[in-house]
């Protein structure tokens, strides 16, 4: 069985330097100890539950289709039951290419990264 360091290292190795920088920025600006569990629960519930439980956190604009939690700079939501998408909405407002502003991560990998945020941030700097 792999330890946390090996698991996180394997996850981070999937991304290029630009994606790593976006993931690091997301972890620093949007994820705090208090919202880790809430974020995981959001990603694992139906759209109906999202509207009922998270209505105060949902993105309300018309630029992006789907159900997203709106943070300071990023939107987070599901593409499907297995994939999370992180969107740098500020970057997109300034015309940055979607290849740079959007990152798709498996829910499993995402949960590991946000649950071990400090370790992931440290390892992404190596």
Cα distance between residue 74 and residue 80, in whole Å: 18
Provide the token pair at 83: 């994939």
Provide the token pair at 21: 């920088």
Give 37-40's long-range contacts (Cβ < 8 A, gap of 24+).
39/69, 39/76, 39/114, 40/111, 40/114, 40/115
Write down the domain spans for the chain: 4-124
- If the chain, 126 residues long, is cut into consecutive pieces of 10 residues, what is the mean pLDDT of each piece? 89 93 95 95 94 94 92 94 95 94 96 96 83
pLDDT at 125: 79
Cα distance between residue 113 and residue 46, in whole Å: 22
């Amino acid at each position: 069985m792999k330890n946390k360091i090996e698991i996180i290292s394997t996850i981070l190795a999937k991304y290029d330097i630009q994606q790593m920088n976006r993931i690091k920025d997301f972890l620093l600006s949007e994820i705090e100890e208090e919202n880790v569990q809430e974020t995981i629960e959001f990603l694992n519930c139906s759209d109906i539950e999202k509207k009922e439980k998270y209505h105060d956190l949902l993105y309300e604009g018309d630029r992006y289709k789907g159900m997203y939690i709106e943070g300071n700079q990023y939107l987070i939501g599901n593409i499907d039951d297995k994939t999370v998408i992180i969107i740098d909405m500020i970057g997109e407002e300034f015309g940055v290419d979607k290849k740079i502003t959007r990152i798709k991560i498996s829910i499993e990998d995402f949960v590991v990264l946000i649950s071990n945020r400090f370790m992931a941030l440290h390892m992404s700097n190596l």
